[in-house]
Chains A and B, each alone.
Chain A
């Protein structure tokens, strides 16, 4: 079980309240697919992802980015047991989606960069450290049911 300081919980809740799930979700997935193009292997159904302009025009990217960031947000009421909360999604990613767990860590880093872009100077080193902890815990939880 992961221990969260009161300040960490407060930081996560107050910053997450100002996240635009569609805008930051889309931005995160766009950057994941463009900066790390091998991640496109999981999204053949999305169609053309071969260039940044194709990725930007792709409506599936916006929809899926929103879905992914919403799922991250849904972990926040369950900070005390993210592993339990994400067990079904972890199973899905292993048994149905067959996603290499390394991608969870990659996406976590991209989300951190996108949050920094959105919040600017308010995204201090201490705030960054809290969100790095959150995305690392989420990535580990999503990996936990792999077999």
Chain B
């Protein structure tokens, strides 16, 4: 998968919209926990799974920070994300289907806060980016 110049622009715009949302990562996680309750199985220590729960907010911030960091290295995602790929392969071992669920909830979160400012162009490029990030996170699984 390659990112065009337009993709780079739209991914940047989408990440900007994402970071303008207070606790965006926490909200995306909370949406995922509500819509896909099986995803809670990876976070049993959280105690709560609402957008207002501290651990959800904290973990959500980690996820969004990692995504924003990755978005600045579109042409070397494998390299930039290598430590996270190792962590997911050796320690976290999250079933790959769950990255699709969280990616979907990131789109929903941005759409809910920004409406039509989240254009089809940004949606497509961000979807490409999240798909690539997901595949990098599982690339060392086997």
Q: A interface vs B, CB < 8 Å?
A: 30-31, 34-35, 52, 55, 109, 112-114, 116-121, 123, 125-126, 128-129, 132
Q: Decide: A125 near B51, CB < 8 A? Known: A116-B108, A117-B115.
A: yes
B123 pairs with A120, CB closer than 8 A:
no
B97 contacts A by Cβ under 8 Å: no
B120 contacts A by Cβ under 8 Å: yes
B121 pairs with A31, CB closer than 8 A:
no
Q: Measured between alpha carbons, how far is A63 from B124 in the docked complex, in Å?
A: 22
B1 contacts A by Cβ under 8 Å: no
Which of under 10, 10 to 19, 20 to 34, or 35 or more describes the interface residues of B?
20 to 34
Kindly list chain B residues whose C-beta atoms are within 8 Å of the C-beta of A123. 108, 112
A-B contact pairs, 27 of them (CB 8 A): A34-B121, A34-B123, A35-B120, A35-B123, A35-B124, A35-B127, A52-B120, A52-B121, A109-B104, A112-B104, A112-B108, A113-B111, A116-B108, A116-B112, A117-B114, A117-B116, A118-B115, A120-B112, A121-B112, A121-B113, A125-B31, A125-B50, A128-B34, A128-B108, A129-B34, A132-B35, A132-B36
Q: Which residue in chain A gives the minimum CB-CB distance to B37?
A: A129
Secondary structure type dominating chain A contacts: helix
A117 pairs with B34, CB closer than 8 A:
no
Kindly list chain A residues whose C-beta atoms are within 8 Å of the C-beta of B116. 117
